[in-house]
Structure 1
Amino acid sequence: MIAIDPGTTHSGLVIYSRNGTVTTSLVLENKDVFAEIRAHSNLPVAIEMVASYGMAVGREVFETCVWIWRFMQAAGAERVRLVYRKDVKLHLCGSPRAKDANVRQAIIDLYGGKAVAVGNKKQPGPLYHVKSHAWSALAVAITATQTEG
């Protein structure tokens, strides 16, 4: 599965297998994410979808929505599952009020704790290369995979 945390100009992307292996973890310019989706046309795609929940939104949110649509277009609608951040927080942390740090920690705990999951330069763990927005993309991948159906 390709999972994406979309942004206005750059997005987090992971390629995630059903057994929990992260084979790719990147933060790329959106045009390059578009190309990655096309290059992996055999994989399903999960994209974090924005929601305002009654809050005012601005230019950045609308620009992100345009990129979500473009990513969906690159994949083809039948390959795409939209995943809301609230659902990610509920699934991984049990609370819609969880913060990004809580979500990241829940993922690390899922993989056996920081020493095992992330490791260090000398002994990197399976999540060693996950950085920045790729953590959110990984959260989308885990949620989409574990809540299919």
Structure 2
Amino acid sequence: MSRLLAIDPGNTESGWVVIDANTCQPLEFGKSNNYDLLEKVWGRAHTHDFIELDDPVFIEMVASYGMAVGKDVFETCVWIGRFAEACGRDSNGEGSQFVYRRPVKLHHCHSAKAKDSNIRQALVDRFAPGQPNYGKGTKAQPGWFYGFNADIWQAYALAVYAADTQLAPEGETL
């Protein structure tokens, strides 16, 4: 099974998800304190209980649209760099890949103006159509998105984008 890790970084906490790259099934996910997530990513080379060293890692990158930004954005940039460094290099000499938010929006919603709620609905329509509660289900009957909240949705959108566009066999688009 091929897996990948996607991280939606924040200035103090980050959403993350590990998916099966072939089916896009979420395997592990959470919103973690950045220090805890960094430790988890650093430890992957030794423990193999998170993801393997050669599994690809995709990190959402911030982009400038000409507006002034504050301290939180710059702190997030620092964490992006720390996560990228922790990913190291795989056997092909590659490390993490940065992905901007715009291509993720276009992939799922075909509009750069899409909001988080639009992306979430597109994911539900694709992976849990017709299921109530955004495909989360209940504790007794968990759905595809059981346990998802906040930044986990955005990390999952990034992961699906990466699986569909970056990891698809050459010449094939999903």
TM-score normalized with structure 1 length: 0.93
Query: Which of the residues 114, 119, 125 maps onto 2:137?
Result: 119
Query: Which of the residues 16, 21, 35 maps onto 2:19?
Result: 16
Find the counterpart in structure 1 of residue 147 from structure 2: 129
Mark the structure with the bigger radius of gyration. 2
Q: Percent identity?
A: 45
Find the counterpart in structure 2 of residue 4 from structure 1: 7
Give unmatched runs, 5+ long, in structure 1. Answer: none
Question: Which stretch of structure 1 is more off in the superposition, 103-112 or 114-123?
Answer: 114-123
Q: Is the 8 A contact 2:120 2:153 kept in 1?
A: yes
In 2, the alpha carbon distance for the partners of 1:89 and 1:70 equals 25
Find the counterpart in structure 2 of residue 64 from structure 1: 76
Q: Count the aligned residue pairs.
A: 149
Q: Is the 8 A contact 2:87 2:95 kept in 1?
A: yes
Query: Which of the residues 100, 105, 108 maps onto 1:89?
Result: 105
Give unmatched runs, 5+ long, in structure 2. Answer: 45-50, 168-174
Q: CA offset at residue 114 of structure 1?
A: 5.4
Deviations, residues 48-73 of structure 1 (Å, cap 9, x unaligned): 10002111111111100000000000
Q: Is the 8 A contact 1:6 1:48 kept in 2?
A: yes
Q: CA offset at residue 121 of structure 1?
A: 2.2
Q: Is the 8 A contact 1:2 1:37 kept in 2?
A: no
Which one scores higher on RCO, CA 8 angstroms, separation ≥ 6? 1
Q: CA offset at residue 3 of structure 1?
A: 0.4
Find the counterpart in structure 1 of residue 166 from structure 2: 148
Deviations, residues 46-104 of structure 1 (Å, cap 9, x unaligned): 01100021111111111000000000000025231111111110000000000000011
In 2, the alpha carbon distance for the partners of 1:27 and 1:114 equals 26
TM-score normalized with structure 2 length: 0.81
Amino acid at match of 2:32: L
